[in-house]
Amino acid sequence: MAAAKSIERLAQRRVAPAEPTPVGPLRLSWLDRYPTQMALIESLHVFKPDLDRDIDAAASPAKTIETALARALVHYYPLAGRLVLSDAGAQQEVDCSNAGVWFTEAAAACSLEDVDYLEAPLMIPKDELLPPTPAQEDERELVLLVQVTSFACGGFVVGFRFSHAVADGPGAAQFMNAIGELARGTESVSVVPQWGREAIPDPSCALIGSLPEPAGAKRLEYLAIDISADYIDHFKSQYNAAHAGVGGWCSAFEVLIAKAWQSRTRAAGFEPDSPVHLCFAMNARPMLHASLPRGGAGFYGNCYYIMRVSAPAGKVAGSSVTEVVKLIKDGKRRMPTDFGRWAAGEMGAGGVDPYQITSDYRTLLVSDWTRLGFAEVDYGWGPPAHVVPLTNLDYIATCILVRPWAHKPGARLITQCVTPDRVAAFHEGMLDMS
């Protein structure tokens, strides 16, 4: 069976914009150049077969997406370039040289059902489903690589490796949706992309962090948890009842992250007085509406701020979910003020760098993928059944909220936040609805 589930790569080609595009360097913003952005973000997008559609080799997923990719790059031509140092040697920029996006076409002899639609644990190694780096390329310079793997059932998987230096989550999803529009036969993209990096603040006092070192860090265990709509509604009702008339509304994200933070804190067994931290990225486009081109519509560069909520472990573990939700909501309300202070350079050299990622076990980094736009991408075969975020850093405590299977209410938590010996306790805590 192992051999039947292997992937055969049929071809790898460079895809250039379908029409002539501008050439030359483009400046990256301060946030684009932040060291933690200098990585290729990896994800798998699983598309079930469309049984009502005739399988036509001339219009196969790989050929359709490759053709649409070339057309999309006319509008997003920086993605066909390479990351380079500027002439001054300090700031990175994008060289719009039309070097092209590496596109890999692959095939699997098995069906998606045979590999459980790539549910965890993966029955196919992720590296077989992700596009490889060609030997002649420097991976640090690449902006985008794509692989489309067709399965015997007619379904397919799109593997993306996307440079975080050029696009944040909403920006990457915007580009993928543009490919989808063109693949479905539209004449042009509905959202005109904007580079506009000069609008991103470059505070003189901003601290530049670095990637966290794995030395001494704990190895954390992967766990995916499906959450029902009833579960979410249960905790939302509790919050609404406790705050009727004043702030009596909370989101699914707030509920699930509060429950995850609380369950993790309990499972990890931190000392009650030990501070624990919750960090989450918030879209900063509304804060820069006046300075971004077209009010931010079409901007696909990095434009987010990482909010940090801290409390003693005993308070997080001993409070109700409703009380933990309030801690998170209070943190989110600080976002305009905190971002404004940072943008104005008012955080002194002794301040905490909001963008610094840490391997400190007391810190949980959470992310909401449900509203980025990945779940709506349609190349002509319908939206993905599910999206699989991937990570190569198993020593940073993370929790990612993603859409559940298509047409299934609820949510899914992709977690890697506790050590292997604490996974069972964390899972039990998440299942407890008290």
Tokens of 26: 């483009």
Q: What is the distance between the alpha carbons of residues 313 and 286, in angstroms, rounded to a whole number?
A: 33
Q: Where are the alpha helices (DSSP H) in 299-380?
A: 313-318, 321-333, 335-343
Cis peptide before 121 (omega within 30 of 0): yes
Contacts of 253 (CB under 8 A, 6+ apart): 368, 370, 401
Q: Is 368 annotated in the active site?
A: no
194 backbone dihedrals φ, ψ, rounded to 5°: -125, 135
Length of the chain, in residues: 434
- Tell me if 284 sits within 8 A of 339, measured CB to CB: yes
Tokens of 125: 């190694």
Q: What is the distance between the alpha carbons of residues 382 and 376, in angstroms, rounded to a whole number?
A: 9
Q: Is 378 annotated in the active site?
A: yes
Q: Where are the alpha helices (DSSP H) in 96-168?
A: 126-129
Contacts of 197 (CB under 8 A, 6+ apart): 26, 27, 28, 29, 32, 301
- Tell me if 255 sits within 8 A of 321, measured CB to CB: yes
What is the Cα 328 distance to its own chain's centre? 20
Position 193, amino acid: P
- Tell me if 429 sits within 8 A of 267, measured CB to CB: yes
Among residues 45, 164, 277, 386, which one is catalytic?
A: 164
Among residues 114, 378, 394, 427, which one is catalytic?
A: 378
Q: Give 396's DSSP letter.
A: S
First-residue to last-residue Cα distance in the chain: 43
- Tell me if 419 sits within 8 A of 239, measured CB to CB: no
- Tell me if 96 sits within 8 A of 82, measured CB to CB: no
Q: What is the distance between the alpha carbons of residues 18 and 98, in angstroms, rounded to a whole number?
A: 10
Tokens of 19: 């029409």
- Tell me if 178 sits within 8 A of 76, measured CB to CB: yes
Cis peptide before 203 (omega within 30 of 0): no
Catalytic site residues? Answer: 164, 378
